[in-house]
Structures are given as C-alpha cells and as structure tokens.
Amino acid sequence: MTQQNGFQVTVYDKEQHIGGRTWKWTMVVHWGLPTLRDMLPAEVFYALKYAHANPFYAYSDDKPETATIKGGMCTGIGYTLGKKVTDIRVEDSKEEETGRPGPVTIAFEGGEVATADLMIGADGSSSRVRRWLVGEEAGKSLLSEYMIGSGIVKYGTAEQAKKLLEPSELCAVATGPTANNVVDPEDKTTYSFQVVRIWHGTEEGRDGKEAIARMKEVTASDMFQEPFYSAIHAIPQASDPIFTRQLTYWPTVSWDNRRGSVTLAGDAVHSMLPNRGRGLNHALADVMQLVKQLVRVKVKGISVQEALEFMTNKKLSESTQAKRGLAR
C-alpha cells in the first residue's frame, strides 16, 4: 500500500532472521481481513494461502503463522534484519526550510545509523520508540493480573491430535481441522499445535519443564472437559520451548510526534491482553489509517504533524473502546 501511494519504506527488524523468534505464535485475522486485502498488492494477498501452517487443508478462514506471513508482507520493500534501536535523534536543520524538523536519525546496536523523514515505531508492547516519545516511566508496560502459558506442542500420538482436530461445541477458535504445523497429512503424529493457557494470578515466569508443570497444575480436571484438559496434561516433557509469563499492557496516552517526525503503530500504541486477535487486527487498521493520512499530506497539503495528530486522537479513542470491551 505504501508503494502504491509513492512512499519509500524501509523496515528495520530486531529479529536475526524471519521466523527467528524462540516463542512461536499464530495470528488470527477476522474483521481486519478486508483491510488486509486493501493494503496488499493482489498477488501478495492471494499468496497468503501459502502462509498457512497446514498447506494440505482447504482453508475458508485466515489463520497464518507469523514467520510465513511476515515473508509475504516483505515482498518488494526494503527489509533489514538484526537491527535493534539504541537511540533516536530529530535534527532541527530543515525546520526553517520545511516547517518541520528532520531528518530523524536512528542508531542501532553495532554503531550503524539510518535516517528518515518519518519514523514509525511498531516495535511491540515494550516499545523502545514509545518510551523515547513519552518518557521511560510513562512508556513502560504495566503488569496485568493474568498469566499466560504457551508453546508449540507435538504430542506424538495420533489419538491426541485427532481430539484437537475435531471442532469443539464450546469454542470454535480453539479446536478444529487445522494445526500449527503439518509435515505429513496422513501421519497425525507429526502434527504440532499452539497451546495457550491463561489464568488469573501474578507470579514469576517459568520456562521448559517448570512451565509445563505449572500449566498442568492450574488446569484441574473438574474445571476442564475434553479436549481442553488433555491438551494441557498430554504435553510431553520434551516439547519445544514452553513458557509462562505475566501478561502486560499499556494504557494508551497522547504523545508528542516531534512536529511530524515520529509516531507509533501496532502494539506500541495499543498494547492489550490477547483476545480474539484484537491486537493484530487493530495493527492492520493502523497501517490503513496512517497511509490515508499521509496521502492527505500529498493531496490536500496538510502538515505531517496535523495528519499524525489526527491518527493519534483516533488511536486514543479506539484503544480505549477496545480495552473496555476486554474488561467486560
């Protein structure tokens, strides 16, 4: 969408390679699907079917895996991996000439620097850019009263896989004819699944065997029926990285965009607890709204500062409404 409107974009990602995260995560696209279709070139959008974790299933919905969808989204734009921001500077050299500061200088670990007319901090719920904009204390993520346990699990038995492949009458998004990864569609012992358990509490995070044990401890047989009970209790001790962590969020506040030089998007601006993919779908809306505002700058001649302030106010309203919905 940025290319279609004549904007040159470079993405700097702290990951060392696409799919390099230790903690794997699936993403649910539902009400954001029309936005995604409008954002992407047609050939990229229709290629997203190849991002599904089970390429052997004829999908009617959209639930791609993080690494593969990332690869598709990066088509045709500048994308640089292994870049962690250490400092941001906004120069005043062009302010008299253009009416706004610039350029923005971004410093990375290792001493490399990059410059841009506009920096968009989409660096997650613990955003470094956000803390630079609003201050360390105001920009810190807050601890919620909920814990999450999650990981990618290969049970190694066809029986357990079949349980999770059957649609549930209680929760359609939890089970069904999909999996996180499928190597051989005929051999269900090769299927792996993303398992998530959320519970009320505050405690230290755990990893590996200790995390698995804690997830089983908080999943009592008198609270959960099948297949949810065995989805937790059948997790093998030798599973891929499993973790438990206290969930965090950030109560969105207004920020100074440095006269149109720096702004936020995605979890950096509306970090919320996981619920039906709201974070991702709001992030897609961020991209659409941001590009629309920048097009207004080109076509109607409004200032970048005014365009970003319009988007900021919209994000403040939307994030407040979304978090109220999560609290119900």
pLDDT in the model for residue 178 = 62
Confidence (pTM): 0.81
pLDDT in the model for residue 91 = 80
Residues 79 and 158 in one domain: no
| Contact (Cβ atoms closer than 8 angstroms) between residue 264 and residue 130 | yes
Q: What is the pLDDT of residues 149-171, one digit of tens each?
A: 999 899 999 999 988 888 777 66
User: Which CATH number covers residue 105?
Assistant: 3.50.50.60
Residues 83 and 159 in one domain: no
Residues 221 and 195 in one domain: yes
Average pLDDT over residues 109-115: 93
Residues 200 and 274 in one domain: no
Give the DSSP H or E segment for 194. Answer: strand 193-200
Higher-pLDDT residue of 207, 28: 207
Domain boundary among 248, 275, 290: 248
Number of domains in the chain: 2
Residues 114 and 239 in one domain: no
Considering the chain, what is the average pLDDT of its residues? 82
Name the β-bridge partners of 105: 89, 115
Measured CA to CA, the distance from residue 244 to residue 228 in angstroms comes to: 18
What's the domain range around 239? Answer: 143-248
Residues 242 and 257 in one domain: no
Output the 3-class SS for 27-50.
Answer: CCCCCCHHHHHHHCCHHHHHHHHH
| Contact (Cβ atoms closer than 8 angstroms) between residue 178 and residue 64 | no
Measured CA to CA, the distance from residue 323 to residue 328 in angstroms comes to: 9
Residues 303 and 188 in one domain: no
| Contact (Cβ atoms closer than 8 angstroms) between residue 314 and residue 252 | no
Q: Running DSSP on this structure, what letter comes out for residue 167?
A: P
Residues 235 and 327 in one domain: no
Q: What is the pLDDT of residues 171-202, one digit of tens each?
A: 655 555 566 677 788 899 988 888 999 999 99
Residues 276 and 302 in one domain: yes
Residues 168 and 307 in one domain: no
96: Cβ contacts below 8 Å, ≥ 6 apart: none
Alpha helices, DSSP H only, in 9-157? 33-39, 42-47, 66-73, 95-98, 128-134, 136-139
Domain boundary among 184, 215, 248: 248
Residues 236 and 263 in one domain: no
pLDDT at 328 over 50: no
Name the β-bridge partners of 12: 80
Residues 241 and 276 in one domain: no
Task: Give the three-class secondary structure for 81.
Answer: strand
Q: What is the pLDDT of residues 303-318, one digit of tens each?
A: 999 999 988 887 777 7
Average pLDDT over residues 61-68: 48
